[in-house]
Structures are given as structure tokens and as C-alpha cells.
């Protein structure tokens, strides 16, 4: 992991489409029992990765930091829990008002099939292949990689798209108050198809639903100086952030769009009533995107979860760190 070594991350957790990896000296991969649903655990110093029944948990010093869910029959694979360095979770999974809102998730429409909503007429994201782990310690820095491939499956059972997904969870001494997730999705047309058409509603993309306490008295702002829903929703910008109280503690969550993404900078969907929501989108509601078999696309996003109230300059520093890491 040359990049982790060069940037001197204090610890790094990677969730990817090719397997779960815990990088540490003398630590092996997850056993075949993990793929069968049996409970497993790996400890490397103060880091543990546990996989059971389609749920992978990362713990540091016995404290949950990230939880990733990959149910065998869908409908989505997603990050269900993500904490600040002090341990404050900011994500809410499947609330009663919108049960299809799965914390931190990615979904779009394909050829008329809706993968955002859930139901008999909607598509599902089905994990494919092995769910593995690899371990390594690089210059004293522990890294964990989770990996699998997702088949985007239409209601008739046919595959429309395949996704290779990578998520890196980083805590860096340069940004002690932030946990940074880097989400990468490589989208490829499924075998037997020459192309697919991506479509969407204004919120289709990488979306975040916050814990209930963050739905009140929060503040939205973006990299262009816009504030509130009026100046951030349906606006294009490199990043968009939200600060609020999470269970009595002030936190800031920023979503970062990589400058090399298709249609960058992202078009943002934001709302703060009756609940708070942020989604980084490709503006598929305004213009569909044709994906051909010979030209996969790669999407890279950052999600920074911070203790305290960060200002625009603080978010910009994290954005620069994100762009430095993802080249």
C-alpha cells in the first residue's frame, strides 16, 4: 500500500469490490466460514474486523467505526454506521418515513428500472463472487480491505450493470478531528449488453441520511459560499457540507466530489425539512448518461465525518487531502 505509506495514515480501512483486507503483520484473511455466514473476527493490535450474516464491522480499540452491510439478496449494499474520531455515529438506516434510505448508499436508475426505491418493480444490488480479506502492515500503519462485486439486477432477473466498489476509511494525523471515507464505484455494462442508459430523479446518486437528532437546526454550506437549501440544492460545486448536533454533540459531515468524475463538479441535492439529506449526483434528472460496454466509468467521492463545527477552510483542507490521496 504505497499510497498509505507515503501519506502516513494513522490507520486505514478499505471496503472494496475485490474483498475485505486487514493489512497487518502476521494476520491472515477471513476464512471460508465468513462467506457462509459464520461469525469471524480478526485482531491486529487494536483493530478488529468481524463478518457475520452479510454484515462487516470494523472496530478500533473495541469501538465500532464503520459497519458495511451486503445482504445476499439485496436490495442494496451500503455503509450503515460511520463515526467521528470521538465515536459519534452520524448515519441512520431505513427510517420509517423512507425505509429505502440506507444510511450512506449509492443508487441510480438504469434503462427505466429504479434502483433507488424498493419493491417488486425495482432493481436490486446483489453481491457476487467471493467476499475475502487480505492483511498487511506497512510502515506501522494497519490497513483493512473488504471487497466484492455487485450485480445490478432488474426485476426480470437479468443483469444490467456490474459494479466494483471500493471504500477507504481513513483517520489521518493531519486531520485529527475527521474520519474520511473514500467511495469508488467502477460501473461496467453487464455481459450481453452493448449499452445502458443511466437516469435519475434529482436525488439519485451517493446519498446520506443522518441520525434523527441532526434533522433539526443544522446548517448546509458549499465550496462556493452558498448556504441553506436555496443556495446549495441543484447547484454544482466540488463539495457540500452539513453541520448539526448528533445526540448532543456538534459534528460536521462533508461530501466531496472528485474533479475527474464524469460531469464534475457534482450537482447537489440538499434538504433540511422535514429531515436533512445530502446527495452527490450526476444530474441524471436533467440529462441521462449512456454507458457503453467498451467504456466503463469510475466515480470517486469522499465523505468526511468530523467532530465539531468545521468552517469552509477546514472542509477545503479535507478536500485537498482527498484529492491528494485519490489520483
Distance CA 288, CA 179 (A): 33
* Position 17 pLDDT exceeds 50: no
pLDDT number for residue 167: 80
Sequence spans of domains, the chain: 2-325
> 125, 112, 134: which is closest to 49 by C-alpha?
134
* Position 301 pLDDT exceeds 60: yes
How crowded is residue 39: how many other Cβ atoms within 10 Å of its Cβ? 10
pLDDT in tens, 248-275: 999 999 999 999 999 999 999 999 999 9
Q: Containing H/E element for 188?
A: strand 175-189
How crowded is residue 108: how many other Cβ atoms within 10 Å of its Cβ? 25
* Position 41 pLDDT exceeds 80: no
Grid coordinates standing for 277? 439529506
Distance CA 292, CA 190 (A): 10
pLDDT in tens, 116-152: 999 999 999 999 977 655 434 444 344 566 778 999 9
Whole-model pTM? 0.85
Cis before 69 (ω within 30): no
In which region does residue 228 sit, left (phi positive, over 0), alpha (psi from -120 to 50) or beta (all else)? left
168's CB contacts (< 8 A; 6+ apart) are: 12, 13, 14, 15, 180, 181, 182, 184, 325
Is 2-325 a CATH 2.40.10 domain? no
> 214, 189, 200: which is closest to 297 by C-alpha?
189
Amino acid at each position: 500500500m504505497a499510497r498509505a505509506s507515503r501519506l502516513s495514515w494513522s490507520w486505514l480501512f478499505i471496503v472494496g469490490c475485490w474483498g475485505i483486507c486487514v493489512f497487518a503483520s502476521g494476520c491472515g484473511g477471513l476464512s471460508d466460514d465468513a462467506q457462509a455466514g459464520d461469525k469471524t473476527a480478526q485482531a491486529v493490535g487494536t483493530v478488529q474486523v468481524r463478518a457475520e450474516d452479510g454484515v462487516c464491522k470494523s472496530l478500533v480499540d473495541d469501538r465500532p467505526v464503520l459497519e458495511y452491510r451486503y445482504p445476499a439478496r439485496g436490495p442494496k449494499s451500503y455503509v450503515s454506521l460511520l463515526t467521528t474520531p470521538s465515536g459519534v455515529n452520524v448515519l441512520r438506516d431505513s427510517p420509517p418515513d423512507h425505509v429505502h434510505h440506507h444510511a450512506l448508499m449509492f443508487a441510480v436508475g438504469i434503462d427505466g428500472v429504479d434502483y433507488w426505491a424498493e419493491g417488486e418493480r425495482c432493481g436490486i444490488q446483489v453481491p457476487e463472487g467471493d467476499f475475502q480479506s487480505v492483511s498487511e502492515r506497512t510502515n506501522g500503519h494497519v490497513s483493512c480491505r473488504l471487497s466484492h462485486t455487485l450485480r445490478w439486477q432488474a426485476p426480470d432477473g437479468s443483469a444490467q450493470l456490474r459494479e466494483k466498489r471500493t471504500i477507504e476509511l481513513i483517520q489521518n494525523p493531519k486531520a485529527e478531528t475527521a474520519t474520511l471515507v473514500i467511495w469508488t464505484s467502477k460501473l461496467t455494462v453487464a455481459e450481453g449488453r452493448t449499452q445502458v442508459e443511466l437516469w435519475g430523479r434529482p436525488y439519485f446518486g451517493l446519498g446520506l441520511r443522518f441520525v434523527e437528532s441532526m434533522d433539526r437546526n443544522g446548517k448546509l454550506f458549499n465550496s462556493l459560499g452558498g448556504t441553506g437549501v436555496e443556495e446549495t440544492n441543484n447547484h454544482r460545486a466540488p463539495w457540500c457540507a452539513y453541520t448539526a448536533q448528533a445526540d448532543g454533540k456538534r459534528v460536521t459531515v462533508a461530501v466531496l466530489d472528485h474533479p475527474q468524475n464524469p460531469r464534475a463538479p457534482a450537482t447537489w441535492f440538499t434538504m433540511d425539512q422535514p429531515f436533512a439529506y445530502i446527495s452527490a449526483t450526476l444530474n441524471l434528472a436533467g440529462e441521462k448518461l449512456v454507458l457503453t460496454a467498451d467504456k466503463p466509468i469510475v466515480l470517486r467521492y469522499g465523505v468526511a465525518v468530523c467532530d465539531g463545527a468545521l468552517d469552509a477552510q477546514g472542509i477545503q483542507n479535507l478536500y485537498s487531502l482527498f484529492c491528494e490521496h485519490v489520483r
